[in-house]
Structure 1
Amino acid sequence: MAKEVWTDQDGRKYPIPVKQREGRSDSGGTVRAYLLNRAKPHLPPWLTVGGIGLAGGGSSLMWEGSAAAGVGLTLASVALTGVTWWAGRSTSAQRRLHSAITVAAGSTWFTAAALAGPFTGPLPDLFLMGGATLALSWNVRLVLRTPEAAGEDSDKGLLAKVGLARAQIGQPKVEPNKVTVPYALPAGEGTNQDVSKALPGLAAALDVPANAVRNRPDPDSAARGTFTIVPKDMLRDVIWYPGPSNPGGSIAEPIVIGVYEDGRELQLTIPDALHLLIMGMTGSGKTEGAIDVLCEVFSRRDVIGWLSDPKRGQDLGEAFAACDWVVDTPAGAEMMIEALKVVVPARQKWLGDHGYRSWEPAAAEQQNDPAHSCQKGRTCGCPGMPYLVAWFEEAANTLRATDDDVFTGIAQEARSAGAWLVISMQRASGYQISTDTRASLPASLCFGVEEKDAQFALPSEVLEAGANPGAWGNKRPGYNYLVAKGIDEELWSTPARTFRNDPVSLEWVAREFAPIRMGVDPVTAGAAASVAGRAYTDRMADQAPAEEEDDMQHEPSVDPEDVDIDPEAELPEAEQGDDAPIFGQEKGRKPKGEEARQLFEEALQEFERNGQMVVGPKDFHDWCEKHHLSRPWVSGQLKEAYKRGRVEDTGTTGRWRIVPALTPA
């Protein structure tokens, strides 16, 4: 008993047993069997037409001329056509329409033949021509259905493999290296989240990378959306930074830092983008992406930059010359953060006084417009206020030295003050940065990361749409996803790649565009100096060593520590503890009262001279050992200094900001 495969009208295949005649080979005398087997799949439509003809003729003997039968048969025809249309909702639109037309035509002829007789008027001609046409249409449909057929049916078979068999597929749109296909899930039988879960399986079925298949949900429907399939990685070829996209332009105009996979420019409009989180593992191209952004920023005319770089210029040192203020220690970063807390409201007040709801390029110009004057009724002529970019590189170091929530308040208010906060770090987990701060950084530039870390940088809807930076890790330097306000949401889950860049470009930009970049405005400078004191006002001081001269001419004859000692004065009387300690006595002399408080004030002045404006008891460790005073005593003195206005509360437990002496900005 052999088995043949029979294909029905729906494309389903059935193995059926075929008994071979004894004494005949498979190759001999099988022409009739071959023709019969080939004709079998095409017989059902013709048998159906013949059956309708016989049924119509027989029914005329019973119901010919019956009005009641006419009403019943008409209602039955309409009902049967409607049921066919309803039952075909899970099939393709073409099959559903074809089936409904076939049923409607057959039931209409049957009703007419039963009431008037099969040989009345044009009924015989309609039966022969119409019946043959319908049967042939189903035969043609079957002939065109092949296992290799592409299109809607093959797409539905592919979706069936990933659990979306009942999904309806629309007309595909084919572009170079990109196919978009709209889909719709049956009502109540699935959501767009189910589609997101099926994307990895669909990518495997298509034999493309995991992030080559994405879906964009319809914002007005939980069951509709669009598949996007990009079969070839168009980002493999490195594109070197072509130079500033808008040299000398305003920072309010878009910057260009790379390309998307479809060739579109990777653009970011900074004032619209809100604050930015840059994240990527070691080797993912995060530093080159940062250089791209800084090259664009410092080639614009109306911007100043503050940079905190704990790596002390190892990667971004070429940007130092273009910045208004640079710090490279945890203490310096903490001081810059405290300065921002004062600078932001000062800038907000200036903008409000000049009639700006938020920063715009006109705010950077001299204020010669009476509509933007702080003196109502006449032009004020105030200097303009450039846009401020506050960049914290390797921010994890800063957060460890301060507090994981230290940026939250700044991020929530800085945008209206014309300030852009950039936090760059390898992993923005909850252990390193607070949830509130991360929520205040709605824009993100995410390079390759570990699979589990993508959730820290990208919104859930972007990940559900198919974005997967974990697929790159550090194997695709520069590959990224950019999520920011002002960018089409379709592009949020579209892979991009930043330009290949190097510090040479950054150094050239810093030098070449120095003449056109604005200097710091008096409001920002004054607010920063009120917090950082000499650490800000002396930031541009020449640090180069003095020229070497004859050491013998300048060698001091007295130790610098002894210059104030009068050699003729009598020695002071000995006090307890001045000599070697006796068992049970404290070693060395311990200052008390006003003397101890004076030493504490001198310590604050020393911190201020060294540029460390944020202090706490832990910073007095060596000082306490030297003067035999305890950290609790220092804590008490800091609280007393707060009452006197010598220090201010930073909002972080155990940290106080020194109020500097008034100095010119």
Structure 2
Amino acid sequence: MELAMRAYSRRHRRMLRNRNAAPLMLVADGNGFADVLAALGRLLYRYRSELAPLTTVLVLAMAGELLHTEHPQWWPYVAGAAVVLAGVVGATGAPFRAEQRSERVYATAAVFAAGGWLSAAAKLGPSRDPLPTLLGLAVLAGGLPWWTHRRRRMRVTVDRTIQAWPDIAEQVGLAGSRVLSAVVDVWGWRARIALRGGQTVADVVAHVPAIESGLGTRPGAVRVEPDPAHAGRATIRVLATDPHAEAIRWTGPSVRSITQPITLGVFEDATPVRVSFLRRHALIGGIAGSGKSGILNVIVANLAACADVVLWGIDLKGGMELRPWLSCMDRLATTPAEATQLQRDAVGILEARAKAMGEDAARVWNPSPQHPALIIITDEYAELAENAPLAADAADSVARRGRALAVTELAATQRPTQKAMGNGALRAQMDIRIGLRVRERRDTDLILGQGMLAAGWHAHTLDAPGKFLISAEGLDHPRRARGFLVTDEDVATEAARWAPIRPPLDDLSAAAVGTARDAEADGSGEVLEGEIVDGSVDPESVLWAALREAPDEGVTIPELIMTTGMQRTWIYLRLQQHARNGRAVQVSRGRWRAADPHRESPAA
């Protein structure tokens, strides 16, 4: 037993020595048959995609000969299987990954033709006329589209890039990274890469020019996106052609309510850019000619179709940009004085809504056609901050308090520095940031937020009007997009189309605007809750008596003000309370009466 164990130990040591020794190499003669076969095999494998039609013909001929010799009675089953497979390919594109309609048609025709020829060959024999001639014609008819198809050639490029990636990664400064998967899409291809330990997406972003050089692409063709599930992985997208080289025509509003996300344009992967403007302030920035007006038109065109939002506009360039939408806007300010009054009225609406919601224990203002949201759109906000500082202060107040009350600010400017934004907190309150082309790299951080440039948000590389980067909820990775093109004819058509459905301010907000103006006219500068003219008279009782005695068409708000001696805000607050409790009804806009005139008192 001991001798056997010693012998086993010696054999084991010899095996280890042989395994660690240099492998035995057989050097073949350069003119040898094995060398020629190896070179031919490598050549066939390298060009396997180009040779696919010829390989298919060869396989069909061999299969037809085998079936005809061994199982000629199987030809009906072959034909039936071909019909079924052709139907599956036409419906789903599987298993050939045919995504586009043209690809499915091609694949379906190829499967149907191959199945028909194979079933005929199984019954008659592959050499029976005219089967060889038909097979040759099929090679030409099917081979030409195959050889010239862009996506096939792109897949070949991707396969070869994956094989060469270790060398490319070494050259561009990402040594140790590897390709996990790659797929060809509509505009090019994309690959998921795993980075070496210690490398991050920021390293990949910093090496984008080198990656473009290593892959041999055009400048600006490579995009880098982080993997949300793994910090050590990233997605590299290579665009063979620029999907946004041409303008994208606008096809109409994408929403009918402010509660729905608006489609602003299309990302480079053909997915839509959707963002909600409800309770979110927005900032649009970019140099002159970058497309700010175009993005504003897309937003306004969608909001104009919403019956639950009131639009106010400020355009201190004489209304050049926003005046075409005047029929859809409740108010448009074109002078500093008008802008100041508009923003002050917005603050008054804030206070009135906040008070009413506090009494109802409500937390948010839910927009509806009867109680619409309010969006204030300001073109060239820097002009407002410079020429109407009081308006900028009021806008700052709206930005801080307006979200829950559905009163929001949307500002467009060329360069949103702190001075240009009025030295307030407005810029910090902007939830939606849309960055168009900028001239200086540092302006990216001004528009999109501090640190965005270093994180790969390169607004300075955008090269056409309407191209933008957007940072918003759910859109926290740098993805290039292009906004829809809304022409002047589109603006005129949509403004006329939606003007009849534009809602007015709700009564509470309208009363707040009137009260604010009355207070300013009196020189008090503040909104008063209400003031009793005669201390011996209870205004609650007077109001209820007026509602009970109102005719069927109701009593107007001015009449109630004169009867009770109270301000508009007080009147509207009490009317809303009576309406919620079922004691009063609104007959028409601005006219009210008691729901039950026979009720002696509100508590009865």
TM bucket normalised to smaller: 0.5 to 0.7
CA distance in 2 between counterparts of 1:193 and 1:73 reads: 51
Q: CA deviation at 1:198?
A: 0.9
State the SS of the aligned residue for 2:402: helix
Q: 2:187 pairs with 177, 181, 189, which one?
A: 177
Q: Does 1:335 find its partner at 2:341?
A: yes
Q: Does 1:399 find its partner at 2:385?
A: yes
Q: 1:519 pairs with 498, 501, 504, which one?
A: 504
State the SS of the aligned residue for 2:164: helix
Paired position in structure 1 for 2:468? 480
CA distance in 2 between counterparts of 1:163 and 1:405 reads: 50
Paired position in structure 2 for 1:456? 446
Q: Does 1:419 find its partner at 2:407?
A: yes
Q: CA deviation at 1:423?
A: 0.9
Kept after mapping to 1: 8 A contact 2:267/2:273 = yes
Kept after mapping to 1: 8 A contact 2:175/2:196 = no
CA distance in 2 between counterparts of 1:141 and 1:171 reads: 28
The aligned amino acid for 1:389 is I
The aligned amino acid for 1:187 is G
Paired position in structure 2 for 1:166? 176
Q: How does 1:30-41 map to 2 (within 5 A)?
A: none
CA distance in 2 between counterparts of 1:464 and 1:220 reads: 21
State the SS of the aligned residue for 2:340: helix
Q: Does 1:301 find its partner at 2:213?
A: no
Paired position in structure 2 for 1:318? 324
CA distance in 1 between counterparts of 2:453 and 2:41 reads: 42
CA distance in 2 between counterparts of 1:159 and 1:355 reads: 60
State the SS of the aligned residue for 2:430: coil
Q: 2:258 pairs with 236, 239, 251, which one?
A: 251
CA distance in 2 between counterparts of 1:311 and 1:528 reads: 25
Name structure 1 gaps, 5 residues minimum: 1-61, 78-105, 111-126, 129-134, 366-383, 535-603, 609-640, 650-660
CA distance in 2 between counterparts of 1:364 and 1:261 reads: 35
Paired position in structure 1 for 2:268? 261
Q: Does 1:432 find its partner at 2:420?
A: yes
CA distance in 1 between counterparts of 2:518 and 2:287 reads: 36
Kept after mapping to 1: 8 A contact 2:265/2:273 = yes
Structure-2 change in CA distance of 1:466 and 1:210 (3 Å): farther
Q: CA deviation at 1:418?
A: 1.4
Could you list the per-position Cα deviations for residues 517-575 of structure 1 after superposition, in whole angstroms to 9, with x for gaps in the alignment? 221101211222233449xxxxxxxxxxxxxxxxxxxxxxxxxxxxxxxxxxxxxxxxx
Structure-2 change in CA distance of 1:162 and 1:334 (3 Å): farther
State the SS of the aligned residue for 1:415: coil
Q: How does 1:10-159 map to 2 (within 5 A)?
A: 65-66=6-7, 69=10, 107=19, 150-159=160-169
Kept after mapping to 2: 8 A contact 1:211/1:466 = no
Q: How does 1:629-644 map to 2 (within 5 A)?
A: none
Kept after mapping to 1: 8 A contact 2:381/2:420 = no
Q: CA deviation at 1:63?
A: 11
Q: CA deviation at 1:239?
A: 2.7
- With 394-403 and 406-415 compared, the bigger mean Cα shift is at 406-415
Q: CA deviation at 1:340?
A: 2.4
Kept after mapping to 2: 8 A contact 1:451/1:470 = yes
Could you list the per-position Cα deviations for residues 571-594 of structure 1 after superposition, in whole angstroms to 9, with x for gaps in the alignment? xxxxxxxxxxxxxxxxxxxxxxxx
The aligned amino acid for 1:446 is G
Which of 1 and 2 has greater Rg?
Answer: 1
Q: CA deviation at 1:242?
A: 1.9
Q: 1:237 pairs with 237, 246, 252, which one?
A: 246
Q: CA deviation at 1:648?
A: 5.3
CA distance in 1 between counterparts of 2:365 and 2:12 reads: 77
State the SS of the aligned residue for 1:277: strand
Paired position in structure 2 for 1:228? 237
Q: CA deviation at 1:300?
A: 1.4
Paired position in structure 2 for 1:131? none
Percent pairwise identity: 24
CA distance in 1 between counterparts of 2:359 and 2:222 reads: 51
Q: CA deviation at 1:285?
A: 1.6
The aligned amino acid for 1:154 is A
Q: Does 1:443 find its partner at 2:432?
A: yes
Q: How does 1:524-535 map to 2 (within 5 A)?
A: 524-533=509-518
Structure-2 change in CA distance of 1:71 and 1:461 (3 Å): farther
CA distance in 1 between counterparts of 2:227 and 2:451 reads: 12
* RCO higher in structure (CA 8 A, sep ≥6): 1
State the SS of the aligned residue for 1:271: coil
The aligned amino acid for 2:434 is L
Paired position in structure 2 for 1:647? 525
Paired position in structure 2 for 1:103? none
CA distance in 2 between counterparts of 1:496 and 1:419 reads: 28
Q: CA deviation at 1:291?
A: 1.2
Could you list the per-position Cα deviations for residues 357-402 of structure 1 after superposition, in whole angstroms to 9, with x for gaps in the alignment? 4343xx425xxxxxxxxxxxxxxxxxx3101111111110111231
Could you list the per-position Cα deviations for residues 244-273 of structure 1 after superposition, in whole angstroms to 9, with x for gaps in the alignment? 234xx222123223222233233222227x
Could you list the per-position Cα deviations for residues 595-634 of structure 1 after superposition, in whole angstroms to 9, with x for gaps in the alignment? xxxxxxxxx86xx8xxxxxxxxxxxxxxxxxxxxxxxxxx
Q: CA deviation at 1:461?
A: 6.8
Q: CA deviation at 1:414?
A: 1.4
Structure-2 change in CA distance of 1:264 and 1:304 (3 Å): same
Q: Does 1:410 find its partner at 2:398?
A: yes
The aligned amino acid for 1:364 is S
CA distance in 2 between counterparts of 1:303 and 1:227 reads: 41
CA distance in 1 between counterparts of 2:343 and 2:460 reads: 32
Structure-2 change in CA distance of 1:172 and 1:463 (3 Å): farther
Paired position in structure 1 for 2:115? none
Paired position in structure 1 for 2:482? 497
Q: CA deviation at 1:356?
A: 4.9
Could you list the per-position Cα deviations for residues 82-139 of structure 1 after superposition, in whole angstroms to 9, with x for gaps in the alignment? xxxxxxxxxxxxxxxxxxxxxxxx739x9xxxxxxxxxxxxxxxx99xxxxxx99xx8
The aligned amino acid for 2:293 is T
The aligned amino acid for 1:339 is D
Q: 1:364 pairs with 364, 368, 378, which one?
A: 368
State the SS of the aligned residue for 1:150: helix
The aligned amino acid for 1:455 is D
Q: 2:209 pairs with 194, 200, 205, which one?
A: 200
CA distance in 2 between counterparts of 1:476 and 1:512 reads: 30
State the SS of the aligned residue for 1:194: helix
Paired position in structure 2 for 1:271? 278
Paired position in structure 1 for 2:197? 187
Kept after mapping to 2: 8 A contact 1:330/1:397 = no
The aligned amino acid for 2:345 is A
Kept after mapping to 2: 8 A contact 1:390/1:422 = yes
Query: How many residues in Structure 1 have an aligned counterpart in Structure 2?
Result: 403
Structure-2 change in CA distance of 1:175 and 1:461 (3 Å): farther
Q: CA deviation at 1:172?
A: 1.0
- When normalised by structure 2's length, the TM-score is 0.59
Q: How does 1:612-623 map to 2 (within 5 A)?
A: none
Structure-2 change in CA distance of 1:364 and 1:236 (3 Å): same
CA distance in 2 between counterparts of 1:142 and 1:165 reads: 30
Paired position in structure 2 for 1:468? 458
CA distance in 2 between counterparts of 1:432 and 1:143 reads: 65
Kept after mapping to 2: 8 A contact 1:451/1:471 = no
Q: CA deviation at 1:349?
A: 4.0
CA distance in 1 between counterparts of 2:4 and 2:241 reads: 66
The aligned amino acid for 1:192 is V
The alignment's C-alpha RMSD in Å is 3.8
Structure-2 change in CA distance of 1:405 and 1:153 (3 Å): farther
CA distance in 2 between counterparts of 1:195 and 1:217 reads: 10
